[in-house]
Structure 1
Amino acid sequence: MKKQHAVARAIAAAMIASTLLAGLANASGPAAKSKAKGDAEEGEQLSSRSMDAPYLAVPVVRNGELVNYLFVSIRIEIAQGVDLWRTRERAHFLRDALVRASHANDLVDPNDSNALNEPRALEVYRAAAIQALGENAVGPITVVATYSSQGSGI
């Protein structure tokens, strides 16, 4: 019964996180980055050459027991000179590589079960993106948002 309650709680938290993160993703598009209308610099329009990976579930395991999930949304900029549409056609391979990386690596802060170890996560996600898209395609990667199933984040 305890495990069923934990699973139900994780599903509910995932649904809440997806709603919150969807709003955050919509609010952080190209318009949110520009200083004023017509005032954006050329480099600030990078988000139009990006691929987002929202809601990556990162299990938090302590002493061999699953104690939490973090939900992480990242943005991967596609390098200039790379065919954006051909790269986006590989989105399902990218998602698969990112999900596998989220589960195969410890990406959580060792001192806080509600926090992402961001430098480690970016390193792991970069390697997964390169595996899926190719080294020349992957530009900067940023964490857009994190949310803990225990209620902290964003």
Structure 2
Amino acid sequence: MLATAAHAAETSALSQVGQYLDLQPVGLPIIVQDRLVNYVFVYVRLNLTRSADLQRLRDKEPAFRDALVRDGHKTPFVLAGDWQKVDEVKLNAALLRDAAAIAGPGMISSVVVTSQSPQRRVMPPRPVAADHP
């Protein structure tokens, strides 16, 4: 009985997924104090509205990636204290704004970072110790 309920819930969730467009991975810089310390490769999904033309938007996939790269270099999505991840909130807001301009209003319902993979494992610098008298 529990298996049947779980299967029904899973089927319902899958039927509500809707249209989406997964972008090819994009390497975004992590720049701290004007120094490149890492690249994080992000996998991004654009959730589309029901009225969106998926094929037309697939043709614009390079434009979405280009906008993401430009935003990531103009104002890096650095997460304070963690140089192995990007700030998903900033990235989502920037790409949602750009996506509306690229796809047209009302085509993209949300942006989701589905995965992040740092190029290198980089630890943040140690705090500078105060001089002792």
* TM-score bin (small chain): 0.7 to 0.9
Is the CA contact 1:98–1:129 (under 8 Å) kept in the aligned structure 2? Answer: no
> Is 1:121 matched with 2:91?
yes
User: CA separation in 2, counterparts of 1:52 and 1:95?
Assistant: 10
- Alignment of structure 1 residues 90-101 onto 2, 5 Å: 90-101=60-71
Pair member with larger Rg? 2
Q: Aligned AA for 2:11?
A: A
| 3-state DSSP of counterpart to 2:23 | strand
The two structures, once aligned, show a CA RMSD in angstroms of: 2.1
> Among 40, 47, 57, which residue is 2:11 paired with?
40
CA deviation vs aligned residue, 1:90-145 (integer Å, no higher than 9, x gap): 22222221221222222111221112211111111211212221221111211110
CA deviation vs aligned residue, 1:61-111 (integer Å, no higher than 9, x gap): 111111111111110011111222222222222222122122222211122
Q: Higher strand share goes to which structure?
A: 2
Match of 1:130 in 2: 100
User: CA separation in 1, counterparts of 2:89 and 2:51?
Assistant: 27
Give the Å deviation of 1:147: 0.9
Unaligned residue ranges in structure 1 (runs of 5+): 1-34
Q: In percent, how many aligned pairs have the same letter?
A: 23
Q: Aligned AA for 1:128?
A: D
Give the Å deviation of 1:37: 8.2
TM-score scaled by length of structure 1: 0.66
- Alignment of structure 1 residues 5-154 onto 2, 5 Å: 36=7, 39-41=10-12, 42-43=15-16, 45-46=17-18, 49-151=19-121
User: CA separation in 2, counterparts of 1:144 and 1:61?
Assistant: 22
Moved over 4 A (4+): none
* Equivalent residue pairs, number: 115
After superposition, the Cα gap between the structure-2 partners of 1:113 and 1:129, relative to the gap in structure 1 and judged at 3 Å, is: same
User: CA separation in 2, counterparts of 1:137 and 1:66?
Assistant: 35
Q: Aligned AA for 1:85?
A: Q
Is the CA contact 1:58–1:70 (under 8 Å) kept in the aligned structure 2? Answer: yes
Q: Higher helix share goes to which structure?
A: 1
Is the CA contact 1:56–1:102 (under 8 Å) kept in the aligned structure 2? Answer: no
